[in-house]
Amino acid sequence: MRRLTLALLVATYLCLSLILALTLWRYGGGWGAGVAALVGGLGLCFAFHGLIERTLETGAVRGEIEAVREAHKILIDQVELLDQRVTEVAETVAGEAMRRSQALADEVHMLEDLVERMARQLAEHGGAAVFGHPTGETPRPSGALFETVRAALTDNRVDLYLQPILALPQRKIVFYESFSRLRDESGRVLMPAEYLAVAEPAGLVTAIDNLLLFRCVQIVRRLAKQDRKIGIFCNVSMASLADESFFPQFLDLLSANRDLAGALIFELGQKAFEARGSIEARNMAKLADLGFRFSVDKVGDLDFDLQDLARSDVKFIKVAAEHLLEELTEVDGRLVLRSLPDLAAEDFAALTRRYGIEVIGEKVESERQVVDVLDLGIAYGQGHLFGEPRAIKEAVLAEADPPSAYLRPQFQRRAVAGAA
């Protein structure tokens, strides 16, 4: 386009010069005057063209300079906005870090109190009764077993095991149940049947439960970082709920982590739940106010007070698959449960759902039991058929900020010295 414009301008200049030269030649100027007029006209036209072009270029440069200035102004404004945003993000991150640090500090203080109280309890209990080994090995004196349990607790050798809970029939993992296991110095795992023989008389079950609760909070926090929507069932004893020194601190910790409420379910045995006192019920209500839910396991009687369960924010009940099958009986040609003879067996799970309670068939060991559980309308299953409890690796807990990593050595030494 620019070349066409230039060609047209040159043609115009040439025409004007020719007109001027012909005019001079016609009116007696001769060939010399005509040629001179032609050359001079062309020179003047091109000089005038150059002047106009420089003027236009100068205007274009000025326009570009103004555009650069405007772009620079916009860039400065964007930089200021970015700096403001970075400052806000930095303040938010600092506040979040401060909150997490405070939560960890609270957790450390609670664990320090636990260790000190364990030391006092351990120092007060050192009986010489003999307890048998659950596997049939030679019984050892309570002093040796007691010392093993004491060392495992004071050295924080309390491991977290998880067993999957699946949605049926898809068999998709939706929950895990947590279990505690103790290890001796050689790494041998102590099963509950072994260490509880010493822990229960010494009043140490609360300490073990408390450490398990902290482990559950850690792993839930870890899963939350991975954005995994999986809940964890964590066993809690009535002794922990009634502990006036521990529970307020634990409630403060959960208040600071109430965003985990949807992923942490506290589990109680049926007998313990039905025998709960006013203190335990009140503390359960405090947890429920934070959004935490409850589960009832070790079910022996299916004739629940469903209204009481719903008022207590119990959202799950676990019934062993074998127990469910033992409950089945036929009355007047229809299949019912012995505990609820007026209710069709397949309607039991539907009835609990009306109260917001899901039934979980636990201890499922065979495919036949899976079929029977599904026939009863139960939507969840747990058992060795779906997966055995597996230990959570220390590396995973370390990434989840384990309390043991923050325990101060002097408190560990104090606990050992107190129990010696």
Distance CA 350, CA 371 (A): 17
Distance CA 375, CA 360 (A): 13
pLDDT tens-digit profile of 379-405?
999 999 999 998 886 544 544 443 433
- Tell me the percentage of the chain whose pLDDT exceeds 90: 28
Mean pLDDT confidence for 147-176: 86
* CA distance readout (Å), 252 to 67, 243, 263: 59, 14, 17
| Higher-pLDDT residue of 232, 12 | 232
| pTM (two decimals) | 0.63
Number of other residues whose CB lies within 10 A of the CB of residue 147: 17
Tokens of 337: 């449960």
pLDDT tens-digit profile of 101-145?
455 445 545 555 555 555 555 555 443 333 333 344 434 445 677
Number of other residues whose CB lies within 10 A of the CB of residue 348: 23
Question: Can you give the pLDDT at residue 102?
Answer: 54
Which domains, from first to last, does the chain contain?
Answer: 160-405 (3.20.20.450)
- The DSSP bridge partners found for residue 269 are 297
